[in-house]
Amino acid sequence: MPRINLLPWREAQRKERKVAFMVALGGAALCALVVMGAVYVLYNGMIDAQVRRNDLLKAQIKHLDRQIEEINDLEQTKRQFIARMQIIEKLQRSRPEIVHVFDQIVKTLPDGVYLTGVSQTGDHLKFSGVAQSSTRVSAFMRNIDGSQWMKNPTLEVIQSSQGAFGSAFTLDAEESAEAADAGADGPAGRRIMAKAGEP
């Protein structure tokens, strides 16, 4: 029976399988590299697109911030204009106030009482003067209390003097509700001084 040597054939088969394995391994590695490259490019594109969107959003946010600042400036200017308009309206309403107050002072001043000074701060009135007697000062206070434009007289000081008149006095009063309803409330801190000559 003839003998057949299969070693060369097996060796050839082994080499073919080894080559096929290496080719398959190379193909798999190549496919992996292609997939990795495609994923890298895809992710880079997504990142670049997101960066562009972020830059656009930042630019829009800066633009909106500038608009908000402009709106805030306009609101502040508007509030300032409104405050000025309110002050002007108060001043317009309070224009006849001093006329009414001085008219009431003349009407409430009894005989024998002379004023040397009148001052006003807000709705607070301060009278300084001389009177022939304390009774005349009391009459002046009663007249103030019954006045339309003044109320709540309060005597601060009354001093007897050796001169032609009996007493020097200082008293306080307030503008009445009728004056406030008429829009006569002046701005706080406004001060009006009136000095009269000695009688």
pLDDT tens digits along 36-60? 999 999 999 999 999 999 999 999 9
Residues 117 and 123: their CA atoms lie apart, in Å, by: 16
Encode pLDDT of 69-78 as tens digits: 999 999 999 9
pLDDT, tens only, 115-144: 888 888 877 889 998 888 888 888 988 898
Where does the pLDDT of residue 92 fall: very low under 50, low under 70, confident under 90, or very high at 90 and above? confident
Q: Does domain 97-195 have CATH number 1.25.50.10?
A: no
Higher pLDDT, 116 or 189: 116
Say if residues 161 and 168 touch (Cβ distance below 8 Å): yes
Could you report the per-residue pLDDT of 129-182, keeping only the tens digit for each?
A: 888 888 888 898 889 888 888 888 888 888 876 555 678 889 998 887 555 455
CA quadruple 110, 106, 182, 172: dihedral sign: negative
| Portion of the chain with pLDDT greater than 90, in percent | 30
Distance CA 22, CA 100 (A): 115
Radius of gyration of the chain (CA): 50
> What CA–CA distance (Å, rounded) separates 85 from 76?
14
Which residue carries 């307030």 as its tokens? 174
